[in-house]
Amino acid sequence: MSALRSLRLKPEAERRLRLGHSWVYANEFEGKLGALGLQAGQQVELITARGRSLGAAYVNPNVLIAGRLLHAPSDGFDVRAWLRQRIQGALAMRQRLGVAQAGRLIFGESDGLPGLVVDRYGPLLSAQLGTAGMAVLADEIADELRQINGVEALVWRNDAAGRELEGLPREVVVAFGEVVEPIWIEENGARFGISPISGQKTGWFFDQRDNRAALMPFVAGARVLDLFSYGGGWGVCSAAHGAHSALCVDSSGAALEAVQRNAKASGVGDRVSVLDADAFDACRQLRDAGERFDVVVVDPPAFIKRKKDAEAGTLAYRRINEAALKLVTDGGLIVSCSCSHHFSADALLDALNRAACALGVRLRVLRRLAQSADHPIHPGMPETEYLKGFLAEVRRP
């Protein structure tokens, strides 16, 4: 590793890194990174306070998470060989899961590739470079991804807000191949048209696939309400599994157009309807109209994106669950989810329980929900576990 510049860490950083965490905060380096002439994304060698090598990393002296550990080699660091090994390892696991053609192929730190996310939709890959260190390797990453059997196109969905903190532009770029939207995939017995260029995130929320599958045995003959529906993952799948009807609620007209397109493609267009409204307002309108549903799904965007949002976000989770519970029939089900990393499963369950107690209804949790297996959790990095939820039965007095 003699070709890499060595940076010494303070003693407190070593223990976390040796337990598998890959982040190094700016105040854990000896000295000021900004005074060392380092470039954003530059590869370095991290050494402990005692002078032992921890391995290769990349750094960005301009952000709080100033370093990310990549590899602990014994005799040098070949970045291209490292990329190839990590990508092939991630793909092999997805093949075992049976999602190598449609699913998350690479999930950042959990796959040993911090800052890189890649989703696959058949012949197309939609990827995000979230850090300067990964952005430096964009061409090499594209070359490796091009080698995956059946891949014909790659879109860089580099439009996440976090890129600005890394000093990177927000942009959507086709790296290679041609992209014609929508790209169709099948999930849980339904068909969905994905928009990898114009859709949210990388185009689809594969992280809820396993949870949607867990709900399907309960939906036959049910009236289903899908709040924050996006493209109708919950609602359209429910209709495809025999639900009497599914109402998908979203404040995005484009998302609701996708719901109708997906429902038609899945052969359930006559049983899926849409409502263009804010979810809170929609719950109030439906309650005032005397509507009740056998299954209500609450799958909102993150209400807590930063720790300082915790108080307001906790209240929002309680309010939306209380509004949703008012619409559930006696003996019906609620699916309540959160994708806020800073909001634990216990906190979500507490919010759901408090909402139920405020209404005088009783809950029985039937299943805990988590992110799908193609979004693996790194045991040394709690930050990689973000999605949690509960499937619960609702009983009224």
**Residues noted as catalytic:** 339
- Of the candidates 237, 175, 241, the one whose C-alpha atom is nearest the C-alpha of residue 208 is 237
> Which of 231, 211, 234 lies closest to 222, judged by CA?
234
Task: State in Å, rounded, how far the first CA of the chain is from the last one.
Answer: 68
Angle at 325 between CA 324 and CA 331, to 5 degrees: 130
Instruction: For Cα atoms 150, 155, 157, give the angle at the middle one, nearest 5 degrees.
Output: 140
Cα separation, 109 vs 168, whole angstroms: 20
